[in-house]
Every structure is written in structure tokens, then in C-alpha cells.
């Protein structure tokens, strides 16, 4: 399948899927990476955009060298999109990588007029053969995330059923809706994806609460909690590539199929899938992934760095209420005095026992 030769040029614009939830650690990056890899496996020419300065999506697809031109340049409109693309080892998948500079993008964008549409304009300069763009958002409702939502044709909101999930979801939903009504009136495909689900009464109840409130917005696929996801991430691999038959990998492939079908209904270029081809590609990538080195080796503990607080013991004593030395001395003195008096009393008792 052609990747960089632009063999099959698409006339329509790519389907842009933004993965957003302002809450941290709910599975945005895991979802973005695995969704992008599945779309690529299904034959869609896909670009994964890592908008998070943590750059976990970038390393998760095996790119560990620093990114010189990537998502920071794209989202601030400094460089045309085609110059930000990087090949990955997955056929059909290209990356716009994350970097530390992204932490400053919000501030830089805030100084611009029309700062919410910079990414939308930048994505128009993508090569014409791209079918789908998957954007991994940072865990914050800042201007970078707003740009990703303004550019979106679809939004996937990963939610982990946990005690404050519904509250967090309300806030994230409110923000997405605000962007929709202000800047992206065509955004109708907003979906909730339950991630890291577990069997258990509490999780079931929390999931049911979300479904009761958001109804058909909740996608008919659950991504179960499974350590294989963490093991894959530790090897800089998407779980769909390391363990394509595992329950979370199957869930992500199903998610990709559902979104492709949805895109074909709305006439996007991600429409139409070849399921056998997808499964086949994932199986090949799994064999390749097997050979990769694990990053799970536990390092030898080194010497702890000296914190440089030379007067730390005195400071600690002062914090405890001044010099405690005299208190310790007095306590020891009292104990000794008690012992002497006790000995004297006992001797007297034995010498002159009460009649």
C-alpha cells in the first residue's frame, strides 16, 4: 500500500478525529495511538498528531529521538504540515511528533488574533492523499486543545469509570459544546469511549450512570483494563501491534471500524474498510514487535543527590519547636530519678516491712 508516494490522491479533506478529555490519565494517548495504528492497518493513510508536550504518543509509535519539526510548529502555524510529517515503521501511518516546546504553544497562540483556528488552517496544507488525522490532546482545556476541537470532524472522549468521572465528563462535554457552538458548527460526531473498564459492581454502576446520562453518545465498545496495555507502552509499542488478539486491542480495532463507518456516512475520505487487511497488517506488525527490546529493565539505584541543605537538622529541630536537646536530657534525668527513688522505696520496704 502506498504511503509516501501519494499514489492515490484523495479529493475530499481527511477526516479529523480529535481525542479529548481535559481530565488526565483517562486513556487519551492510548486511544489516539491505537486508533491511528488500526486505521493505518485498515488501509487508511493516517497522520497521528501528538499535541501533548509529554510526547507519549510519539514514543508509543516508536519515535524516541527528539522531534525538530513537529506538532509545535504545526499548531503554531510556523511550518506547513507536510514538513512536519515523519514516517513511522507502520505502513500508512505518519506522525507529527510532540516536543517540550508544546508547553509554550498556548501562550504563543494566545497572543494571536483568531488563535483558535491556526491548526485548522495548518491542516489544510497536509498532502492530498491523507484519509484520516488523529489528534492526541494534552490534559488541559487550553488554546491548543481548543484548536484541536475547532479542527475536528469527530471527537472521541475517553472516560474511565471512576468516582469523579461523571463530573469530569460534564466539564469536558461543556467545553466541547462551547467550541462547537462558537467555532465548529458542523461538529456533530462527539462520542464517549469507556476505557480501562473492569468487572465489578462499582465500575458497572459508574458506567451505567454515564450511559444513562449520555445515551447513544457512548460508543458500543468498551476498552478493558489490562496490564498488556502498560507492558506495550513500556516497550514503545501500541497494544494493537504487540498483542493484536488481546481484549483491549480488539476493542481498539472495533473502535476504528465504527469510526470509519461513521466517516463513510458523512462522506469523509476515511470511508470504506477492508477488515481482513486490517487484521492481517496487525498480525504482521505483532511479529515485528516481538523482536523489540523491553524498556522494563529496572535500573540499579544510584546515589541520591545531595539536596544541599547543610543546616537541615537544625531547621528540622526549629520546626519541631526549638532545640529539643534539653527536653531529651530532662526526660532521661526524670527516668533516672524515678529509678533511684523506686530502689530506695523498695529497700526501705524490705528493711522495715509493714507489719
Ligand X SMILES: Nc1ncnc2c1ncn2[C@@H]1O[C@H](COP(=O)(O)OP(=O)(O)OP(=O)(O)O)[C@@H](O)[C@H]1O
Least separation in angstroms between residue 311's CB and ligand X is 38
If DSSP codes are grouped into helix, strand and coil, which group holds residue 261? helix
Q: Which of 27, 70, 77, 168 binds ligand X (CB under 6 A)?
A: 27
Least separation in angstroms between residue 29's CB and Mg ion is 3
Least separation in angstroms between residue 225's CB and ligand X is 4
β-pair type (46-50, 132-136): parallel
**Cβ distance to Mg ion smaller for residue 35 or 273:** 35
Site string for ligand X, 45-84 (x = CB under 6 A): -------x-x-x----------------------------
Q: Does 243 bind ligand X (CB under 6 A)?
A: no
Query: Which one of ligand X, Mg ion, none is in contact with 248 (Cβ closer than 5 to 8 A by kind)?
Result: ligand X
Query: Which one of Mg ion, ligand X, none is in contact with 268 (Cβ closer than 5 to 8 A by kind)?
Result: none
**Cβ distance to ligand X smaller for residue 30 or 46:** 30
> How is residue 4 written as a grid cell?
509516501
**Cβ distance to Mg ion smaller for residue 74 or 260:** 74
β-pair type (86-87, 93-96): antiparallel
Least separation in angstroms between residue 1's CB and Mg ion is 28
* Alpha-carbon gap, residue 219 to 27, rounded angstroms: 15
* Alpha-carbon gap, residue 319 to 299, rounded angstroms: 36
Least separation in angstroms between residue 183's CB and ligand X is 23
The end-to-end CA distance of the chain, in Å, is: 110
If DSSP codes are grouped into helix, strand and coil, which group holds residue 141? coil
Phi-psi region of 48 (alpha: psi -120 to 50; beta: other; left: phi over 0): beta
**Burial class of residue 265 in the structure, from the number of CB atoms within 10 Å of its CB (0-12 exposed, 13-18 middle, 19+ buried):** exposed
Give the interface size with ligand X as a residue count (CB under 6 A).
20
Positions touching Mg ion (CB under 5 A) are 28-29
β-pair type (218-224, 189-197): parallel
Binding site for ligand X (CB under 6 A): 24-30, 52, 54, 56, 139, 195-196, 223, 225-226, 229-230, 233, 248
Amino acid at each position: 500500500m502506498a504511503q509516501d508516494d501519494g499514489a492515490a490522491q484523495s479529493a475530499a479533506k481527511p477526516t479529523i478525529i480529535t481525542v479529548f478529555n481535559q481530565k488526565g490519565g483517562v486513556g487519551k494517548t492510548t486511544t489516539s495511538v491505537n486508533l491511528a495504528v488500526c486505521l493505518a492497518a485498515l488501509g487508511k493513510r493516517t497522520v497521528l498528531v501528538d499535541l501533548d508536550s509529554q510526547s507519549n504518543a510519539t514514543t508509543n509509535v516508536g519515535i524516541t529521538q527528539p522531534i525538530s519539526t513537529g506538532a509545535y510548529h504545526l499548531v503554531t502555524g510556523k511550518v506547513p504540515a507536510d514538513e512536519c510529517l515523519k514516517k513511522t515503521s507502520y505502513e500508512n501511518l505518519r506522525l507529527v511528533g510532540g516536543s517540550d516546546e508544546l508547553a509554550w504553544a498556548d501562550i504563543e497562540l494566545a497572543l494571536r488574533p483568531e488563535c483558535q483556528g491556526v491548526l485548522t488552517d495548518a491542516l489544510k496544507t497536509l498532502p492530498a492523499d491523507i484519509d484520516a488525522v488523529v489528534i492526541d490532546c494534552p490534559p488541559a482545556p487550553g488554546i491548543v486543545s481548543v484548536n484541536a476541537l475547532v479542527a475536528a470532524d469527530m471527537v472521541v472522549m475517553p472516560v474511565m469509570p471512576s468516582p469523579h468521572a461523571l463530573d469530569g465528563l460534564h466539564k469536558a462535554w461543556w467545553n466541547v459544546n462551547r467550541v462547537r457552538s462558537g467555532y465548529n458548527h458542523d461538529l456533530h460526531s462527539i462520542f464517549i469511549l469507556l476505557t480501562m473498564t473492569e468487572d465489578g459492581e462499582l465500575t458497572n454502576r459508574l458506567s451505567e450512570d454515564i450511559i444513562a446520562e449520555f445515551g447513544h453518545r457512548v460508543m458500543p465498545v468498551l476498552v478493558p483494563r489490562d496490564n498488556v496495555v502498560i507492558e506495550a507502552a513500556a516497550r514503545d509499542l501500541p497494544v494493537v501491534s504487540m498483542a493484536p488478539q488481546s481484549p483491549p486491542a480488539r476493542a481498539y480495532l472495533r473502535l476504528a471500524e465504527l469510526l470509519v463507518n461513521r466517516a463513510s456516512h458523512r462522506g469523509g475520505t476515511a470511508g470504506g474498510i477492508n477488515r481482513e487487511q486490517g487484521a492481517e497488517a496487525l498480525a504482521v506488525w505483532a511479529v515485528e514487535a516481538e523482536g523489540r527490546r523491553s524498556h522494563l529493565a529496572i535500573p540499579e539505584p544510584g546515589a541520591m543527590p545531595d539536596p544541599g541543605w547543610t543546616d537541615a537538622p537544625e531547621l528540622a529541630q526549629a520546626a519541631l519547636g526549638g532545640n529539643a536537646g534539653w527536653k531529651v536530657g530532662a526526660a532521661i534525668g526524670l527516668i533516672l530519678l524515678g529509678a533511684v527513688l523506686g530502689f530506695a522505696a523498695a529497700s526501705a520496704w524490705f528493711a522495715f516491712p509493714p507489719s
